[in-house]
Amino acid sequence: MADHDLTALMAAQLDRHLVFPLLEFLQERQLYSRPEILEAKIRLLSGTNMVDYAMDIHKSLHGTDDVPEDMVKRRSEVVSRLRSLDEAAAPLVAFLQNPQLVQELRPDKQYNIHMLQERYQIGPDQIEALYQYAKFQFECGNYSWAAEYLYQYRALCTDTERSVSALWGKLAAEILMQNWDVALEEFNRLKEIIDSKNFSSPLNQLQNRIWLMHWALFIFFNHENGRNGIIDLFFQDRYLNAIQTNAHHLLRYLATAVVVNKRRRNMLKELIKVIQQEQHSYKDPITEFLQCLYVNYDFDGAQQKLVECEQVILNDPFLGKRVEEGNFVTVPLRAEFLENARLFIFETYCRIHRCIDISMLAQRLNMSYDEAELWIMNLVRSSKLDARIDSVSGTLIMTTNHINVHEQIIESMKGLNMRTYMLAKNIVEPAQQAAR
Ligand SMILES: *[C@@H]1O[C@H](CO)[C@@H](O)[C@H](O)[C@H]1NC(C)=O
Ligand SMILES: *[C@@H]1O[C@H](CO)[C@@H](O)[C@H](O)[C@H]1NC(C)=O
Ligand SMILES: *[C@@H]1O[C@H](CO)[C@@H](O)[C@H](O)[C@H]1NC(C)=O
């Protein structure tokens, strides 16, 4: 099951803290053994200030109350460093926490810096301390505090590189707090900076774009407009280049987003092109499914891949998000993906064949005959196709034979077809049964 797990590749492009939600997901899915996941968490935590959390995991992993010496030592280091940073940042923090004093700030960075220095003897050292403190708090897992003070810091910071670094921190903190609207704003801010002409070297710019795409996946698969967002971003030349240069695995997310996004069907062709170009660098059941269907017209292959796609989605931390609906826990994206994928199979099939045996189609769609028939009826009714069902021979007959069945809709004919179909269903079939 872990065959198609991208976590290791993803983690290399994420902040450590952003990897935790992925590990939590993998743990819940039991894709790896519990000790493996807990070890990974401890390794991850060793690079943060979340020592108490690491200790808890260590205890639970080894079934003991003892913790290793280095964790104890690290804990006291963290506590004392936090104390000294707290002291260093105190004057500026006190200022920022006082609503009356904050009113003295204006939307003018130079003025503010000057004013703080003149009236409150708060200079570059205190401003720097605020950054260090906020960063340290982030490492402690105090994301709300970090977000607040990284924001304040940016308003006073004159060093471009530092300001960008603070923005990355703010973005991560908002993601971790699941503030998707704010995270989206910060993402846009960061993107604008990264895309600006004077941003660092081209190589650095490329790396920043790759990071940005990875981080943004959290937003794209949680924010209500994210499914358009990912398509808009990933298909931009510069970002698509970045994917094709050094982040091929992102094609899984782009492909999924295109499949489930009915309004962006027009991107399918471009997507298939990229998938084909990159097939030697990256493939998974999702990209293979599209390739089977649209490059090789291999329906059996596509059908097989679809079964694997379902597993990939269920086991992917971004795609397999669980949602409670009443007493059920569902994965909405899974259902949407399968529905759309079946539609793709069906449409492609209909493009090549004029007359389709429903039981054959049922098999292709992995449905029972009745299910398939109902499904087709719904399709016809919802104006997707010009087709009629001949229930005597159990076939679906395409009444137009155009390349794009979608474009050929004749409303009146369809109503008529439906009635004819129902008539046949109610009269012809009982008659046949009686004859038998
Ligand atoms: C975050 O840090 C601030 C300042 O030290 C503290 O007052 C607050 O309790 C911390 N919050 C959490 C959740 O640890
Ligand atoms: C790029 O130029 C803009 C406008 O001149 C400036 O505001 C920004 O700080 C610059 N960015 C970098 C990274 O130097
Ligand atoms: C067909 O669907 C059933 C459940 O509805 C599933 O168990 C089976 O694996 C599927 N088989 C194929 C070939 O799609």
- CATH number, position 84: 1.25.40
pLDDT of residue 352: 74
Look at residue 38 and tell me if it is in a domain: yes
Q: Do 47 and 1 fall into the same domain?
A: yes
**Mutational pocket test of ligand 1: of 130, 137, 177, the residue with most ligand atoms within 8 Å of the beta carbon:** 137
Look at residue 313 and tell me if it is in a domain: no
Domain boundary among 147, 177, 207: 177
Look at residue 234 and tell me if it is in a domain: no
Domain boundary among 65, 90, 108: 65
CA of 197 to the centre of ligand 2 (A): 8
CA of 201 to the centre of ligand 2 (A): 13
pLDDT of residue 337: 95
Residues framing ligand 2 (Cβ under 6 A): 160, 196, 198-199
SS (H, E, C) the chain: CHHHCCHHHHHCCCCHHHHHHHHHHHHHHCCCCHHHHHHHHHHHHCCCCCHHHHHHHHHHHHCCCCCCHHHHHHHHHHHHHHHHHHHHHHHHHHHHCCHHHHCCCCCCHHHHHHHHHHHHCCCHHHHHHHHHHHHHHHHCCCHHHHHHHHHHHHHHCCCHHHHHHHHHHHHHHHHHCCCHHHHHHHHHHHHHHHHCCCCCCHHHHHHHHHHHHHHHHHHHCCCCCHHHHHHHHHCCHHHHHHHHHHCHHHHHHHHHHHHHCHHHHHHHHHHHHHHHHCCCCCCCHHHHHHHHHHCCCCHHHHHHHHHHHHHHHHHCCCCCCCEEECCEEECHHHHHHHHHHHHHHHHHHHHHCCEEEHHHHHHHCCCCHHHHHHHHHHHHHCCCCCEEEECCCCEEEECCCCCCHHHCCCHHHHHHHHHHHHHHHHHHHHHHHHHC
Domain boundary among 22, 46, 65: 65
Residue 311 Cβ inside 6 Å of ligand 3? The answer reads no
Look at residue 85 and tell me if it is in a domain: yes
Q: What is the mean pLDDT of each run of 10 residues along the chain (436 residues)?
A: 89 97 95 95 95 96 94 96 96 95 92 95 95 97 97 94 96 98 98 94 96 98 94 97 97 97 92 97 97 91 93 96 86 92 82 80 81 80 71 81 41 39 50 54
Q: Do 171 and 79 fall into the same domain?
A: yes
Look at residue 243 and tell me if it is in a domain: no
Residue 303 Cβ inside 6 Å of ligand 1? The answer reads no
Q: Do 127 and 142 fall into the same domain?
A: yes
Give the structural domain span for 58: 1-65
Question: What residue's CA is closest to ligand 3, atom 10?
Answer: 366
pLDDT of residue 404: 47
Question: What residue's CA is closest to ligand 1, atom 6?
Answer: 145
* Tally of domains in the chain: 2
Look at residue 380 and tell me if it is in a domain: no
Look at residue 323 and tell me if it is in a domain: no
Q: Do 143 and 166 fall into the same domain?
A: yes
